[in-house]
Amino acid sequence: MRLCLFVLLSLAEAAAAEQPIRHAFLAADPRANRVALVDESGTIGWTCAAKDVCDATVLPDGRVLLSDRGGARIVNRAGQALWDYRAPAGAEIYTCQMLPNGNVFVCEGGTKRLVEINRAGQVVVEIPVATAVSVHGQFRIARQLADGTYLVAFWKEGCVKEIAADGTVRRTIDGLGEAYMAQRLPNGHTLVGCGDQHRVVEVDRAGRIVWQVNENDLPGHPLRFAAQIERLENGNTLICNWPGHGHEGKQPLLVEVTPDKRVVWQFDGRDRFRGIIGLQLLDRVGTRP
């Protein structure tokens, strides 16, 4: 009996291991000025026009929050704006996040501030941040963490800063060359996509690089602009390998990489996208646009 049970469990594990990885996701393509939903088969479904879009999220009710350089908005399935925040003239916004309290968080280049906006479109939180870089190079993806602090990628400054609610910089991770996006991992480490430095790095609490993928570490998938990144529950790392600075149409756009740097999933997409700079995995999202 025990032998039969062991055999059955072994067969089940082997069958699970043989199942191909499949992902559904919402993709931000700033060169094509649109966001698009891609299902598990790779088919494009819902799309929405959005100028210079870099960050987009499907909300629990199926609406979509997206950035469009001049601000952020929430759209319905018809692409109509149900909520719209416009930044001051000359400011640039490349990131947006729906917060648990219902506010939307954005990071504004030009005005140099972290901003929370309520559902009435009113700025309810404003945190000044210092940088000497010109407007376009100031910030990219930023996220509020569970403890209320903010993890902000100072793009051309080449660093990631953890900023408290009172504006105090609690920690700086520098020496990155460029910093497009950072993700705080459960173990306290920070995963960073380093843009045109052609690498993704994991940095421990002491600032030491403990894991990285460099430009030529993945045969057939040289890293170009390492844009949005995500450490998955299985320990793999998902990388948006954006081709927008001279490599458009030359290689697959998304890769999933194991800790030992094996590519176990890729999305080519060159026939459907000019590039994917940001994405949200929808594997477990029930309501999609």
Main-chain dihedrals φ then ψ at residue 271, nearest 5 degrees: -85, -5
Predicted confidence (pLDDT) at residue 3 exceeds the cutoff of 70:
no
Give how far Cα 197 sits from Cα of 123, 154, 193, 201, Å.
35, 14, 9, 11
pLDDT band, very low/low/confident/very high, at 286 (cuts 50, 70, 90): confident
Per CATH, the homologous superfamily of domain 23-281 is YVTN repeat-like/Quinoprotein amine dehydrogenase (2.130.10.10)
Phi-psi region of 27 (alpha: psi -120 to 50; beta: other; left: phi over 0): beta
The C-alpha atoms of residue 114 and residue 104 are separated, in whole angstroms, by 11
Q: Using the predicted structure, report yes or no on whether residue 243 has a pLDDT greater than 50.
A: yes
**19 or 54, greater pLDDT:** 54
Q: Tell me the C-alpha distance between 80 and 267, whole Å.
A: 29
The answer, yes or no, to whether residue 12 has pLDDT greater than 60, is: no
CA distance 254 to 57: 17
Both tokens of 146, joined, read 């569970």
Length of the chain: 289
At 15, is the pLDDT very low, low, confident or very high (cuts 50, 70, 90)? very low
pLDDT digits (tens, 9 = 90+) for 22-62: 999 999 999 999 999 999 999 999 999 999 999 999 999 99
Q: Where are the domains of the chain?
A: 23-281
C-beta neighbour count of 148 within 10 angstroms:
9
Lookup: tokens for 191: 């995963």
* Distance between CA atoms of residues 278 and 141, nearest Å: 9
User: Is the CB of residue 191 less than 8 Å from the CB of residue 159?
Assistant: no
Q: Which residue has the higher pLDDT, 286 or 160?
A: 160
Residue 284: pLDDT band (50, 70, 90) is confident
pTM, two decimals, is 0.92
Q: In this prediction, what percent of the chain has a pLDDT beyond 90?
A: 91
| Interacting residues of 205 by C-beta distance below 8 A, sequence separation 6+ | 188, 189
Predicted local distance difference test score (pLDDT) of residue 239: 98
Closest residue by Cα to residue 54 from 280, 256, 285 = 280
